[in-house]
Amino acid sequence: MSVSFLISQAKSVQKVIDENSAEIEILDQKIGDGDHIFNIQRGLKLVVELEDSIKDLPLAKALNMIAMKVLSGIGGSSGALFGTFFMTMAKSPDLDKDVDFNKACEMIISGIKAMKERGKADVGEKTMMDVLIPVSEKLNELKNESEFKLGLNEVIKIAEERMLSTKDMLATKGRASFLGERAKGHIDPGARSSQLIIDTICKSVINN
């Protein structure tokens, strides 16, 4: 993981999120209030715009700047959660040394753990954590494998299955929790956007 990797991933994710924005907006209007897609798009735009100011910085500093930008520029639950994610990654030890696959996995795992604590949400509550926690568990299995690219295909599969599984769940956290039974039958918009992000990044790593 490097600063240029982060910037190029942010650009690819921005493209994919923009292509799927109508779908995410509709999902959020069904069980939320419709702000999720605008928050995610605003956050990605702000991160992509950071390119010139972070491209020559050490990784820890760049991650910290991304965290602060996300935290202060998005708002809502997504801002707090993704801000926490990047802030935790920035605090990882030894970021001045080479960050290989194993180390990158550990950073992502600790970032997702911090999100879980911030949002106090676990698997089965119809939120983005339904996708992120299983992905984090899979990365924990994969991190020491040399043939990790094969394993990333499984990560893609897990993210998709878990995203789809939110459809029949009752929501107990977040704004959809106010709906009771009426939340059933709709995929969680945060689970969908998280799955798209994981899908994009994994595919890019596999193809490089």
Partner 1 sequence: MKKFINNNDDFLKESLTGFGKAHSDIINVNLDPSFVSRKNKTKDGKVSLISGGGSGHEPMHGGFVGHGMLDAACPGFVFSAPTPDQMQAAAEHVDSGAGVLFIVKNYSGDIMNFQMGAEMYSGKNDSIVTNDDVAVEDSTFTTGRRGVAATVLVEKIVGSLAEQGGSLEECKKLGEKVNKNAGTMGVAFTSCTVPAAGKPTFDIGDDEMEFGVGIHGEPGRKREKIQASKTIVGNILEAILDNLKPEKNEKNLLFVNGMGGTPLTELYLVYEDACQILQSKGVQVTKSLVGNYCTSLEMQGASITLLKCDDEILKHWDSPVHTAAMRWGM
The residue ranges that bind partner 1 (CB under 8 A) are: 25, 29, 32-35, 38-39, 68, 71-81, 83-84, 118-119, 172-175, 177-180, 182
Considering the complex, what minimum distance in angstroms separates the CB of residue 17 from partner 1? 15
Q: Which is nearer to partner 1, 47 or 81 (CB)?
A: 81
Q: What is the CA radius of gyration of the chain?
A: 16
Q: How far is the CB of 5 from partner 1 (least distance, A)?
A: 26
Nearer to partner 1, 32 or 92 (CB): 32
Neighbour tally for 96: CB within 10 Å: 9
Q: How far is the CB of 12 from partner 1 (least distance, A)?
A: 24
Nearer to partner 1, 22 or 150 (CB): 22
56: its two tokens: 């020559």
Nearer to partner 1, 155 or 183 (CB): 183
Distance CA 205, CA 44 (A): 19
Element (H, E) at 85: helix 76-90
What CA–CA distance (Å, rounded) separates 59 from 2?
6
By beta-carbon proximity to partner 1, the closer residue of 41 and 92 is 41
Alpha-carbon distance of 62 to 84, in angstroms, equals: 15
**Contact at 8 Å (CB) between 8 and 177?**
no
The CA distance from 95 to 185, in Å, is: 43
Q: How far is the CB of 178 from partner 1 (least distance, A)?
A: 5
Structure tokens at 105: 């996995």
CB of 42 to partner 1, least distance (A): 8
